[in-house]
Amino acid sequence: MKVNVRGKNVEITDGMRTRAETKLDFLDRYIAVDEDTVANVLVKIYSSYHKVEVTITTKVGLLRAEAVADDYYSAIDVALDKLESQIKKHKGRLTNQHRENLMDEFVETANNDAVIQELVRTKRIDAEEMPLDEAILTMEMLGHTFFLYTDDETGRVALVYKRDQGGYGLLET
């Protein structure tokens, strides 16, 4: 597997690169990793914390995790723990008989503690046409963390959401 470690506002040391490479070795336990698999690790340094984003493109799909901590080594540990639980969750989902061909990409493990996810509820809505500020106000009034609507300027379906770091985000189709 190729591991690309990049830094934003920080110079990547050999120790940081080695830590990321050795920590990513756990992937062999869960998925079939070959030399074409690429893991991208982005390290961002802010004034009071470090942020690590790990993105891996595999035959199974895109795996991504990010974590924030006081130092790089804690952040990389947390991000890879998130990645491992994400892989376990996806492995459970892929036990569905319709995705039999993708199951071959997963390596069988002795303790398969993945939980199979099932659809609990389906809800249909009409995405009303409105401006962005009205969509944010409606989302806040409903007490939701996201709101689906039709943008009055573009006429396309869009989704506004609350960001963990504060503020709002917008997904446009």
- Asked if the structure places residue 17 within a domain, the reply is yes
Average the pLDDT over each of 69-73, 82-86, 145-149, 163-167 and give the range with the smallest value: 82-86
Q: Are residues 22 and 97 in the same domain?
A: yes
| C-alpha 50: how far from chain center | 17
- Asked if the structure places residue 122 within a domain, the reply is no
For residue 132, what are its two tokens? 């962005």
Q: Are residues 24 and 87 in the same domain?
A: yes
Q: Are residues 55 and 92 in the same domain?
A: yes
- Asked if the structure places residue 111 within a domain, the reply is no
Q: What is the dihedral of CA 25, 115, 76, 106, to 10 degrees?
A: 20
According to the model, what pLDDT value does residue 155 have?
A: 92
- Asked if the structure places residue 109 within a domain, the reply is no
**pLDDT tens-digit profile of 10-63?**
889 999 999 988 888 877 777 777 777 888 999 999 888 999 999 887 766 678
- Asked if the structure places residue 78 within a domain, the reply is yes
Domain count along the chain: 2
- Asked if the structure places residue 35 within a domain, the reply is yes
Q: Are residues 22 and 81 in the same domain?
A: yes
CATH number of 98's domain: 3.30.160.100
Q: Are residues 74 and 137 in the same domain?
A: no
Structural domain range at position 147: 129-172
Residue 134's SS3 state is helix
Query: What is the C-alpha to C-alpha distance for residues 50 and 58, in angstroms, rounded to an integer?
Result: 26
**pLDDT tens-digit profile of 94-140?**
555 445 555 555 555 444 555 567 778 888 888 899 999 999 988 88
Tracing tokens 């709002």 back to the chain, one arrives at 168
According to the model, what pLDDT value does residue 162 have?
A: 93
Q: Are residues 13 and 95 in the same domain?
A: yes
Residues 77-94, mean pLDDT to the nearest whole number:
78
